[in-house]
Amino acid sequence: MRSRRSAQIIRFHRDRISRWGDGTLGALGWRAPASQGNRFDVIAEVGDMNDRSVLDLGCGYGDFKAYLDESVSACTYIGVDHVPEFIRAARARYHGCENTVFHEADFARLALPAADYVVASGAFAYRRDDPTFYTSMIQRMYDAAAIGVAFNMLDATVFAPQPLLAGQDRDRVLAFCRAITPHVRMRTDYATDDFTVYMYRRADMVDAGRAQRG
């Protein structure tokens, strides 16, 4: 059974599908292609994903898979989303692709598959009733990741709260992540209302992630 918030999110995206069409950025809720692409660029700075596995939470139509196909080789991709229309379209889009799988599931209730990198772009923008949702998910992402984690959130100091979306206190998020691992970095310079956190299991991976930025 879906949670109230999960059902609300699905209704939101179904309404956008009816307005903008299935398979569109409008259906996903992005304001423009550059908005999604910019965040993908920053998420990908987590590390070298060549010959690695990536778990993408809130994968939508699998657009990050397409992004990776243009920049890395031999990457195993696992996408998870609870919107049935998104997963149906993603499976059709990547039918026959090797090392690619999509799960229709609420990642908050899913036993997360292990992967080298666990990422979430846009998935933590939604308001949640459970105040421990975000910290619980961050911990679970880290537990599932062999190398590192990358996720973005809306910045509460800039983003005005909405019925469906909510920003987070980036200092508190950073402090929580550092309580899990000291190997953490944050980027706040790529968008006015967004921040991205990277978490690693080893200190040397922090510098390796920075090197991805060039």
pLDDT in tens, 95-119: 999 999 999 999 999 999 999 999 9
User: 139-173, pLDDT tens digit by residue?
Assistant: 999 999 999 999 999 999 999 889 989 999 999 99
- Comparing 12-16, 59-63, 113-117, 176-180, the range with the smallest average pLDDT is 12-16
Residue 156 belongs to a domain with what CATH number?
3.40.50.150
Q: Region 14-28: what's the mean pLDDT?
A: 81
Could you tell me the CA-to-CA distances from 189 to 39, 69, 117, 196 in Å, in that order? 11, 26, 22, 9
Which string of b and e fits 43-52 if b means at least 16 CB within 10 Å? bbbbbbbeeb
What is the average per-residue pLDDT within 38-60?
97
Q: For the chain, what is the HEC assignment?
A: CCCHHHHHHHHHHHHHHHHHCCCCHHHHCCCCHHHHHHHHHHHHHHCCCCCCEEEEECCCCCHHHHHHHHHCCCCEEEEEECCHHHHHHHHHHCCCCCCEEEEECCCCCCCCCCEEEEEECCCCCECCCCCCHHHHHHHHHHHHEEEEEEEEEEECCCCCCCCCECCECHHHHHHHHHHHCCCEEEECCCCCCEEEEEEECCHHHHHHHHHHHC
The whole-model pTM stands at 0.92
**Looking at the predicted structure, is the pLDDT value of residue 33 above 80?**
no
Look up the domain containing 170 and give its range.
4-213
Q: Tell me the CA end-to-end span of the chain in Å, nearest whole number.
A: 45
Domains: count for the chain: 1
How large is the average pLDDT for residues 80-105?
96
Answer whether residue 61 shows pLDDT above 80.
yes
